[in-house]
Structure 1
Amino acid sequence: MHTDSNKPALKRTLGSFHLWGIAVGLVISGEYFGWSYGWAQAGTLGFLVTALIVAAMYTAFIFSFTELTTSIPHAGGPFAYAYRAFGPVGGYIAGFATLIEFVFAPPAIAMAIGAYLNVQFPTLDPKWVAVGAYLVFMSLNLIGISIAATFELIVTLLAIFELLVFMGVVSPGFSVANFVANGWAGSNEFSSTAISGIFAAIPFAIWFFLAIEGAAMAAEEAKEPKKTIPKAFIGGILTLVVLAIGVMVFAGGAGDWSKLSNINDPLPQAMKMIVGDSSGWLHMLVWLGLFGLIASFHGIIMGYSRQIFALARAGYLPKGLATIHPRFQTPHWAILAGGVVGILAIFSDQLIVIGGMPLTANIVTMSVFGAIVMYIISMAALFKLRKSEPKLDRPFVAPLFPFAPALALGLAVLCLVAMVYYNQLLAMIFGGLMLAGYGYFRLTHDESAAASDVELAKA
């Protein structure tokens, strides 16, 4: 990203509460769907173990990541941190991994939007609803109409309220016996199969928290980022941990949890077990739940377009993707490119079946591969910058250093190893995408792009 003093600067208007809303809003859809696929792998008790381990990883990660975000409050986010620590190759790994995370998360959310609307309108095809969601929100981004931070905050608060309503409505029918029944990978006995399931369920526990780090892309728009960002990140991760555990436990205790383990709308279906098909509570959950999905969907589309734009401008992707629309002043080709990939992903099950898993589960896993690689290189960048730039201004210092970032790094590596083991074909596809992107970068990276990279590193 250029540091030209004549370049218009982003206006700093976001306070801690708005940033908290962005951090939680990017993730909140993960509380509504996606995670229940972990039950199919590990059962309720096994997945609870997985979720607690991943929650510990994310808590340690966010406390450590906040040091990077406040020290280098740059809209490039992980791309900028890794570049500063490791140069062009490090920047590529972090930037492209983040791109995969943000490009593959929206199709999964779009499929959930389709599933939620299908509850109200059974004749609707969820896939075509997902495509419609892409067209609507890409169009809004293309013409420059984005959800303002205040609206993002409002829909996030509505989504949190709805999750609390869900827990309250199903609580009278909650049963511990329902939750623990066959809770170890379909068995009442803890065994080697249960251990295997705990590791296989990792991507779906990560989905609970995926994309919270995307709030770093708003760092240049934050008022007093060195103060507001730590409050937003820490408040955000604590909010999400409480909601994730609460939603999972109450849904699992509502009835036969196995009926919820391979679907995109576990919360409405869990509520049906308690209040029936025609309850007003159920309809409210569906409609307000859409706000949470839309908040994440729209926010992540904005995120992938900025990531594509930034990587193209720095010479990591075709330069045409860094083009700004002359009228709307938006990165239109970046928005469209990410949307094309997402829509193709929605229909990819008609081309190839991967591991016998549902389509959404595979899309979630691909997104998580990108996220976990980015987490690893971000924590490595933290350690590297502590040594290479000991005098760097660090308004927020990672607590319990080096233990907290080491815990985050170690658990992230463990998650990556387990994901590769249990998702070998998807791992190869992910690796192929990373290698193809790197090959393009090596062939096209020129002196002008290198000069731009130097400016980025010093920003």
Structure 2
Amino acid sequence: MAETSTEHLKRVLKPIHLWAIAVGLVISGEYFGWNLGWAVSGTIGLLIATLVITLMYITFIFSYTELTASIPHAGGAFAYAYRAMGPFGGLIAGYATLVDFLVATPAVAVSLGSYLHFLYPAIPITEAAMGFNVFFILLNMLGVKESATFSVFITILAVVELALYLGIVSPHFKMDNYLTNPMPFGWAGVFAALPFAVWFYLAIEGVAMVAEEVENPKRNIPRGYISAIITLVVLALGVMIITGGLTDWRKLSHLDYPLPEAIGIVLGKGNGLTKIFASIGLFGLIASLHGIILASSRQVFAMARSGYLPSMLSDINHRFQTPHWALVVSGVVSSIFIYKFKTDQIIMLSVLGAVVMYIMSMLSLFILRKKEPRLSRPFLAPAYPVFPAIALVICVVCLIATIYFNPDMSLIFGGGLVIVLLIFVAMGKHKVALTEDMMSAPIEEVINH
């Protein structure tokens, strides 16, 4: 069995922190990425895809919350799948989660660089993305409470900004614009748009990664998730529909900064409001970059603590009580993707990781209901088994669509999984049983302290 650190993560997070982390993780999806779905589906095609994915996320989050509250472990889906399906299940879920978060980080960093370049054309996009990446890794090293407090501040600013955006542009919405060439590729376009619709909500499950740092997790985690999903559904549908009716949507379907460009088209790029919005538009992207770095480092930490990654990645800094080596490795992976891949490729790879992780999580929920009927479940998935079944079916459809329309990135994802599995078996890790304390959060420590 792998040696584990005697240091523990601090339990300091409250529901407001969880709401901020959850919304902050996701809110960049309202600022960019989703608009690329218009290029393959049109406005109505993307709307249909988004409604389907919204249903998937609502049913998924209510189901996933049962797992997170029952097994508040920093490994998230990795811990649930290991407990339900053993070493191989844990490995597949852990690999998918790592891809989900580690690859989402560079996508947000590049968009941040693009927003900054929109404001100041002399600033190169790639170098700006790298600068943001390094800065927020350093910030996350200072401590989770400090990071979460920053998340609350920056997430509130991002939500206010999107509300301001909708208030400014809504009077310019024209239904004729929105319904022009609404489904140029028919129903095939709807399936092609599913991964881009996922980007609206991708990473909300990252709250599970800080489960071991939450005060009274069995009560507070459901509160954080539920308030976050309500916030995000309202923002996603509002931004997508209103933006689609401002101009010819094709002008915005290939950009990494669609919202400031939309305001620029409506008000004029020289208008003061356009510049102000683009400036504060950085807040939403900053919130997501900061939150995703936090979540991805905890996933690396949890898998290293369980012996699935090098043990040094589970080291915790004595002064700040944060997994510093896990943060460094996360930053290195992000930097590689910033330099080597395009935004749409990064999004597709991240979506593949997310959807596979969702599938493994829902399977784990069904298995654990049968396998461990006496497991303490302070939050039960509503309408069981309907909710998790709906989430599982839509996830499978989304996975098939993503693979079909993106064979190159699917090959990279699948090839990586095969390599990881071969190494896992060659090292004999599948024969090593992890102890119970490595698969469930030490709740007793909270009670005793």
TM-score under structure 1 normalisation? Answer: 0.91
- 5+ residue gaps, structure 2, are 442-449
Same amino acid, percent of matched pairs: 50
94-103 or 14-23, which deviates more? 14-23
Q: Which residue of 1 aligns with 2:116?
A: 117
Q: Tell me if 1:164 matches 2:163.
A: yes
Q: Per-residue CA shift, 1:230-251, capped at 9, x if unaligned?
A: 1211111111111000001111
Q: Tell me if 1:456 matches 2:438.
A: yes
Q: Per-residue CA shift, 1:211-265, capped at 9, x if unaligned?
A: 0000112222222222221121111111111100000111111111101001100
Distance 1:53 1:219, change over 3 A: same
Distance 1:140 1:150, change over 3 A: closer
The 2-side partners of 1:316 and 1:160 are apart by 37
Q: Tell me if 1:126 matches 2:125.
A: yes
The 2-side partners of 1:425 and 1:224 are apart by 44
140-149 or 291-300, which deviates more? 140-149
Contact 1:140 1:146 in 2 (8 A): no
The 1-side partners of 2:180 and 2:283 are apart by 33
The 1-side partners of 2:211 and 2:323 are apart by 19
The 2-side partners of 1:424 and 1:370 are apart by 14
Q: Which amino acid aligns with 2:195?
A: P
Distance 1:453 1:94, change over 3 A: farther
Equivalent positions of 1:272-291 (< 5 A) are 272-291=264-283
Match of 1:385 among 362, 368, 371: 368
Q: Which residue of 1 aligns with 2:350?
A: 367
Q: Which residue of 2 aligns with 1:352?
A: none
Q: Which residue of 1 aligns with 2:445?
A: none
SS of residue in 2 equivalent to 1:310: helix
Contact 2:209 2:299 in 1 (8 A): no
Contact 1:2 1:456 in 2 (8 A): no
The 2-side partners of 1:257 and 1:383 are apart by 42
SS of residue in 1 equivalent to 2:73: coil
The 1-side partners of 2:235 and 2:310 are apart by 40
SS of residue in 2 equivalent to 1:378: helix
SS of residue in 1 equivalent to 2:269: coil
CA shift at 1:37, angstroms?
Answer: 0.4
Q: Which residue of 1 aligns with 2:446?
A: none
Q: Which residue of 1 aligns with 2:403?
A: 420
CA shift at 1:9, angstroms?
Answer: 4.3
Equivalent positions of 1:86-105 (< 5 A) are 86-105=85-104
Q: Which residue of 1 aligns with 2:386?
A: 403
The 2-side partners of 1:201 and 1:369 are apart by 13
Distance 1:73 1:334, change over 3 A: closer
Q: Which residue of 2 aligns with 1:228?
A: 220
SS of residue in 2 equivalent to 1:395: coil
The 1-side partners of 2:58 and 2:3 are apart by 33
Q: Which residue of 2 aligns with 1:190?
A: none
Count of matched residue pairs = 441
- 5+ residue gaps, structure 1, are 186-192, 350-358
The 2-side partners of 1:295 and 1:107 are apart by 14
The 1-side partners of 2:58 and 2:223 are apart by 13
Equivalent positions of 1:344-363 (< 5 A) are 344-349=336-341, 359-363=342-346
Contact 1:21 1:156 in 2 (8 A): yes
Contact 1:315 1:441 in 2 (8 A): no
Q: Which residue of 2 aligns with 1:254?
A: 246
Root-mean-square deviation (CA, aligned residues, Å) is: 2.2
Contact 1:88 1:453 in 2 (8 A): no
Q: Which residue of 2 aligns with 1:354?
A: none
SS of residue in 1 equivalent to 2:208: helix
The 2-side partners of 1:332 and 1:224 are apart by 25
SS of residue in 1 equivalent to 2:86: helix
Q: Per-residue CA shift, 1:91-127, capped at 9, x if unaligned?
A: 1111111000011001100111011111110122111
Q: Per-residue CA shift, 1:63-113, capped at 9, x if unaligned?
A: 101111111122221111111111111111111110000110011001110
The 2-side partners of 1:228 and 1:311 are apart by 24
Equivalent positions of 1:20-31 (< 5 A) are 20-31=19-30
Match of 1:196 among 188, 200, 209: 188
Q: Which amino acid aligns with 2:382?
A: P
Contact 1:144 1:330 in 2 (8 A): yes
Contact 1:79 1:95 in 2 (8 A): yes
The 4+ residue runs of structure 1 with deviation greater than 6 A are 1-4
CA shift at 1:17, angstroms?
Answer: 2.1
Contact 1:70 1:395 in 2 (8 A): yes
